[in-house]
Structure 1
Amino acid sequence: MPDVHPADVQKVRARQRELGIPESFEWVAETTPSLRAAAEESGLVVQEHPLMVLDPGASAAHVDGVSGNTSAGQHQPLAGVSEIVGVGTLPAARRRGLARAVTAALVADARSRGAATVFLSAGDDDVARVYARLGFRRVGTAPIAEPAE
């Protein structure tokens, strides 16, 4: 892949502003390594997240005995692939296995809909360890670049 330059990022950011959408970039660091420097030079802040995929054949362990409206998430299936996104638990309900149960349920639903590949970006290495216990393994880094708040 050709190198990405700050001017390239600026063009995309201008178009994002024209369209009224967030100025945000997400990519796989290992496939486009030059994007990080270009994003930072154009004024964006880059955060890195573990990119993880569920091992083939794994279904993610089922967790019984969880209920309530304190944890949520979703998956986005397309052509045999599904990305798990937005898994979160209210702070008062953390450390009870709720996010793990939600993730297991999302994996089961993705598999039932024909997803052979299920992947996600973990918030950080601590969160990645939770997903690893469900059968996910790190395959790369998923940077996200956004304007400073």
Structure 2
Amino acid sequence: MERIDLFCDTVPRQWATVTDTGPLRIFTRTTPGFPFYARPIPGAGPVTAEDVARVRAAQRGLGVPETFEWVFATAPSMDAAVRAAGLSVQVCPIMVLDGMPRPMPFPDGFRARLLGPADGDLAAAAHAHLIVASTAFGAPIPAAPTAQTVAALAADLAAGRIARLLVTGPDGVVAAGSIQRSGDVAELVGIATAATHRGLGIGAAVTARLAEVARKAGVDLVFLSAGDASATRVYERVGFRQVGRCGIAEP
């Protein structure tokens, strides 16, 4: 849990600035993408409702969402603090992979592709990746990436800081998923399947492929957070097991 907590404190720094307010830390994204949460500073001590209120005011000033995340094992005071501050809380299992993932083939007619930094269609592929993920999670459809955004993505892909998987079928792009890495720890994020193609085993296949990519790249600890019981069962089929809980709080 401490390794995962430190990872969550380290990874956003590649794409965000840091503002510390008491025992809490705000990450303000400097590149296009989903906003980061505020979270407890590792080892900073207990968090109170007053700390949360102060950070929410700072987030409003910075123009970022008033959202928070934490690992229960390393920040036991956060749950009560955010609830006392009037925020809603979602609790998600943290799951880790032991060994290699179980083989999960894609259904016939579907093909998975890892985006590469030298791909001639990287801009279009990156946009398709964002669209399927945003649609699956109920977020607004993003605009096409700029040349600067595509260049930054290519640099991240080349450095191994991230990996992105795109799945296409007879009807076009139907699923996506990503890896974000820091040192020997990697998190699988944004695993999404279009509503029209759920129940076919595509999500499990995406998870297994990404986990395999991380392992073959030398990652020692592969983890993810499950959004609900259905997703948890999918990840368990791949070989992940629950080791803890994380919280997400928002107005």
Same fold, judged at TM 0.5 (above): yes
Deviation at 1:15, TM superposition (A): 2.0
One-letter amino acid matched to 1:58: M
Unpaired runs of 5+ in structure 2?
Answer: 1-42, 111-167
Counterpart of 1:75 in structure 2 is: 179
Overall identity of the aligned pairs, in %: 47
One-letter amino acid matched to 1:94: R
Q: Which digits, 9 at most, give the CA deviation of each residue in 1:1-24, with x for residues without a partner? A: 632110111122222222222211
Deviation at 1:58, TM superposition (A): 2.3
Counterpart of 2:229 in structure 1 is: 125
Within the candidate set 97, 101, 111, 1:59 is matched to 101
Indicate conservation of the 8 Å contact 2:106/2:201, yes or no: no
The yes-or-no answer on 1:7 pairing with 2:50 is: yes
Within the candidate set 73, 76, 86, 1:33 is matched to 76
Deviation at 1:76, TM superposition (A): 0.4
Number of equivalences: 146
In structure 1, distance between residues paired with 2:64 and 2:216:
33
Between 1:30-39 and 1:115-124, the stretch displaced more is 30-39
Indicate conservation of the 8 Å contact 1:50/1:125, yes or no: no
> 2:71 is paired with a residue of what secondary structure?
coil
Deviation at 1:129, TM superposition (A): 1.3
| TM-score, L = length of structure 2 | 0.55
Indicate conservation of the 8 Å contact 1:10/1:42, yes or no: yes
Indicate conservation of the 8 Å contact 1:60/1:108, yes or no: no
Between 1:110-119 and 1:133-142, the stretch displaced more is 110-119
Unpaired runs of 5+ in structure 1?
Answer: none
Does 1 or 2 have the higher relative contact order (CA < 8 Å, sep 6+)?
Answer: 1
Indicate conservation of the 8 Å contact 1:81/1:115, yes or no: yes
> 2:218 is paired with a residue of what secondary structure?
coil
Deviation at 1:36, TM superposition (A): 0.9
Counterpart of 2:63 in structure 1 is: 20
Deviation at 1:60, TM superposition (A): 3.7
RMSD over aligned CA atoms reads 1.5
Counterpart of 1:45 in structure 2 is: 88
Please identify runs of 4+ aligned residues in structure 1 that moved more than 4 A: none
Between 1:5-14 and 1:137-146, the stretch displaced more is 5-14
Q: Which digits, 9 at most, give the CA deviation of each residue in 1:73-131, with x for residues without a partner? A: 11101101111111111111000011111111111221222211110000112211110
Deviation at 1:62, TM superposition (A): 3.5
